Amino acid sequence: MAETPEPSFKALLTDGVFEVRHYTPQLAADVTLVGEDVGSSDAFRVLADYIFKEYPTGAIGMTAPVTIQRGEAIGMTVPVTVAAGKDRQYMRFYLPERYTLATLPKPLDARISILEIPARTVATIRYSGWNTATKVAEQNDKLRAWMADKGLQAVGPAEVQGFNAPWVLPWWRRNEVWVPVKADKV
C-alpha cells in the first residue's frame, strides 16, 4: 500500500517522540459542524466527499494528517475537550501540494472552507492509541513540559493530528499534538 503524502517540513530538532518542525505554506479544507445530531464521523464524510467524489475529472486525493476536534477548544493551553453531549465537530484535511488556490476545485458543499496556512514552526509529540480527552491532555502536558525545558514559547493553540484510517488498530495508530512555537527560539 502506498504511503499517504504529508505536508513538507524540515525537522529543526528531534528528541525521541518530540520534534520541532518548520512547515512550508499549505492549503487545507476545513469544516465545522454544529448541532445536537452531529455524529462522530460527520465532518470526515463531508471532507471525504470533497476530496474523493465531487469531481468527475478525478479525486483530489488524501493526505495526512487530519486535524480533529470534537467538543470545544478551551483557551491557548488545552487543545481539545472531547466530551459527550457536545454538539460541535471540527476537522481539517491538508490538501496535496500540487494544488494552488487557482487550480484547486471549489468545494460544492458550502460548509467547507479552503484556507491558506502560512509557513509555521510547530513543536510536536508523537503517540499511539485513540485520541481520548485524557490521552490528548496527557500528551499536551508532556509536550508543554518538554517545550518549557527547551525554552520554546507557544504562539497559538494546540492541534490534535491523526495520521491513520479509522480501522487501524490503536497500537499501530500515529497521532500527534502540535503547538505552534516562535521560530526564532529553535
Q: Residue 76's pLDDT is what?
A: 28
DSSP 134-169: HHHHHHHHHHHHHHHHHT--B-S--EEEE-S-TTS-
Distance of CA 171 to the CA centre of its chain: 19
Q: pLDDT at position 129, please?
A: 93
Could you tell me the pTM of the whole model? 0.80
Q: What is the pLDDT of residue 3?
A: 63
Residue 29, amino acid: A
Residue 55 · residue 161 · CB < 8 Å = no
Please tell me what DSSP assigns to residue 177. E
Note the pLDDT of residue 184.
79
Q: Are 168 and 66 in contact (CB under 8 A)?
A: no
Q: Mean pLDDT of residues grouped by 10 in the chain (186 residues)?
A: 76 97 93 71 83 68 72 32 50 89 89 93 96 92 97 94 84 94 81
- Count the Cβ atoms, other than its own, within 10 Å of residue 65: 21
According to the model, what pLDDT value does residue 82 have? 30
- 3-state SS class at 38: coil
| DSSP-derived 3-state class of residue 184 | helix
Which pLDDT value is given to residue 177?
Answer: 96
The pLDDT score that the predictor gives to residue 60 is: 76
Rounded CA-CA distance 19/108 in Å is 37
End-to-end CA, the chain: 36
Which domains does the chain possess?
9-185 (3.20.80.10)
Residue 87: predicted pLDDT: 67
Count of C-beta atoms within a 10 Å radius of residue 130: 12
For residue 176, what are the CA distances in angstroms to 17, 48, 57, 79?
A: 9, 21, 33, 12
Alpha-helix runs per DSSP H in 79-131 = none
